């Protein structure tokens, strides 16, 4: 390399750094809280890795948080975060009578044949091997645990009981196994016969030979939508341009995952491993990504049916008009701009 070329190369690094700093300064920060280990968020995380948010001028600042997304509702309502993940729990429907106003912007996860489901009822391995529990009707008299009351797993378990022509009085339901460690110990000690688990716990239990994936939403309630992107109504109203850009970026990531047809591609598998921090073999056991819904579409019928269920369980006292808890116009604008 000649002396002039060497001198120019020496200038390249600070020049590139300056360009990078200038580019970062032009991005608008948007704060989101979610659990990156929950692999249903792959479309959004893939959009981050693919640079779709930067292309929209958005610096998506992710705050990782463990636990149920129902914990994020007050934070969103108070403006501590701009966006967050939301599941259609009783807490979501009840928040409106409690003075909060978190609305849904787009769906992140649905169910579709040929795609892996992120939530499962697990049958203890010895019972599965003995074919003692095969159909929902086989739950009669069984000890089953639905984790937290009002959770998606709770919904799945009780709908499975009903699918078997049974009532809660026909089974022995508990809601005490709140952690993966609790579930694992109960299964090993044969204190429970069926337990509800999300991924990755379901895959880990199966890999250890203590339980077998049995039924999921795709077999019991294929219309169920599990997870959404949400924001406070005020933030959505005050920042429609930002929401438009966020949804455009998200929908591009969503569309990439849809094109996988439910099978792992090397890039998607690598991203799922990176964000979840799970071993590659555990992620491969999921068979593929979760179905992200068609272009982020929010199914109002699904929301209606879920709310009716929680009302019947006496966990929602004041039902809300589901048309008023979704900012469909913002989603439609983003879909049209991408010609979806």
Residue 24: pLDDT band by 50, 70, 90 thresholds? low
pTM of the complete model: 0.86
114 vs 287: CA distance, rounded Å: 9
**pLDDT at residue 20 tops 60:** no
Record the tokens describing residue 19, joined without a space. 């360009």
pLDDT tens track for 144-171: 987 778 889 999 999 999 999 999 899 9
Record the tokens describing residue 276, joined without a space. 């979840």
Q: What is the pLDDT of residue 7?
A: 35
Residues 103 and 233 in one domain: yes
CATH, residue 242: 3.40.190.10
Q: What is the pLDDT of residue 199?
A: 85
Q: What is the pLDDT of residue 25?
A: 62
| Domain end point (choices 220, 249, 282) | 220
| Domain end point (choices 220, 249, 264) | 220
**pLDDT at residue 190 tops 50:** yes
Residue 288: pLDDT band by 50, 70, 90 thresholds? very high
> Does 236 fall in a domain?
yes
216 vs 40: CA distance, rounded Å: 14
Beta-carbon neighbour count of residue 267 at 10 Å?
13
Residues 332 and 230 in one domain: yes
Residues 235 and 292 in one domain: yes
**pLDDT at residue 260 tops 50:** yes
Q: Which ranges of 164-299 would DSSP assign to H, the alpha helix?
A: 180-188, 201-207, 217-220, 233-238, 240-258, 266-276, 280-284
Q: What is the pLDDT of residue 11?
A: 35
Question: By C-alpha distance, which of 149, 153, 143, 148 is closest to 123?
Answer: 143
Residues 209 and 233 in one domain: no
72 vs 190: CA distance, rounded Å: 34
> Does 286 fall in a domain?
yes
Residues 233 and 204 in one domain: no
Better-scored residue on pLDDT, 146 or 192: 192
Residues 147 and 94 in one domain: no
CB 53 within 8 A of CB 31: no
Q: Which residue has the tokens 């879909």?
A: 335
Q: What is the pLDDT of residue 39?
A: 82
Residue 326: pLDDT band by 50, 70, 90 thresholds? very high
Provide mean pLDDT across the span 28-35.
94
> Does 256 fall in a domain?
yes
Beta bridge partners of 60: 30
Name the residue range of residue 302's domain.
28-114+226-337
Residue 9: pLDDT band by 50, 70, 90 thresholds? very low
Q: What are the two backbone dihedrals, phi and then psi, of residue 103, each rounded to the nearest 5 degrees?
A: -115, 160
Residues 231 and 97 in one domain: yes
Better-scored residue on pLDDT, 174 or 310: 310
Report how many domains make up the chain.
Answer: 2
**pLDDT at residue 268 tops 80:** yes
| Domain end point (choices 174, 204, 220) | 220
Helix, strand or coil, per DSSP, at residue 255: helix
Residues 330 and 289 in one domain: yes
Better-scored residue on pLDDT, 112 or 134: 134
273 vs 37: CA distance, rounded Å: 9
Beta-carbon neighbour count of residue 192 at 10 Å?
22
Provide mean pLDDT across the span 197-215.
90
């Amino acid at each position: 390399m000649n002396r002039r070329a060497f001198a120019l190369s020496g200038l390249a690094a600070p020049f590139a750094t300056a360009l990078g700093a200038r580019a970062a300064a032009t991005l608008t920060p948007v704060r989101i809280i979610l659990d990156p280990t929950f692999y249903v968020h792959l479309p959004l995380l893939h959009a981050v890795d693919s640079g779709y948010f930067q292309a929209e001028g958005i610096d998506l600042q992710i705050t990782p948080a463990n636990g149920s997304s129902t914990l994020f509702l007050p934070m969103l309502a108070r403006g501590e975060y701009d966006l967050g993940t939301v599941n259609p729990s009783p807490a979501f429907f009840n928040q409106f009578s409690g003075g909060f106003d978190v609305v849904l912007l787009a769906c992140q996860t649905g169910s579709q044949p040929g795609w892996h489901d992120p939530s499962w009822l697990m049958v203890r391995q010895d019972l599965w091997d003995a074919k003692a529990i095969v159909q929902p009707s086989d739950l009669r008299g069984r000890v089953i645990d639905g984790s937290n009351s009002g959770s998606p797993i709770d919904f799945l378990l009780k709908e499975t009981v009903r699918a078997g022509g049974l009532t809660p009085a026909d089974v022995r339901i508990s809601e005490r196994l709140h952690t993966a460690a609790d579930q694992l110990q109960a299964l090993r000690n044969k204190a429970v016969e069926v337990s509800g688990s999300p991924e990755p716990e379901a895959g880990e239990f199966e890999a250890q030979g203590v339980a077998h994936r049995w039924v999921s939403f795709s077999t019991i309630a294929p219309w169920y939508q599990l997870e959404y992107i949400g924001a406070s109504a005020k933030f959505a109203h005050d920042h429609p341009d930002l929401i438009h850009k966020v949804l455009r970026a998200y929908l591009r990531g969503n569309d990439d995952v849809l094109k996988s047809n439910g099978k792992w591609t090397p890039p998607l598998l690598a991203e799922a491993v990176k964000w979840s921090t799970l071993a590659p073999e555990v992620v491969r056991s999921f068979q593929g990504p979760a179905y992200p819904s068609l272009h982020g579409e929010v199914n109002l019928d699904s929301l209606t049916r879920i709310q009716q269920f929680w009302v019947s369980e006496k966990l929602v006292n004041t039902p809300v008009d589901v048309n008023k808890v979704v900012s469909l116009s913002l989603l439609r604008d983003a879909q049209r701009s991408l010609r979806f």
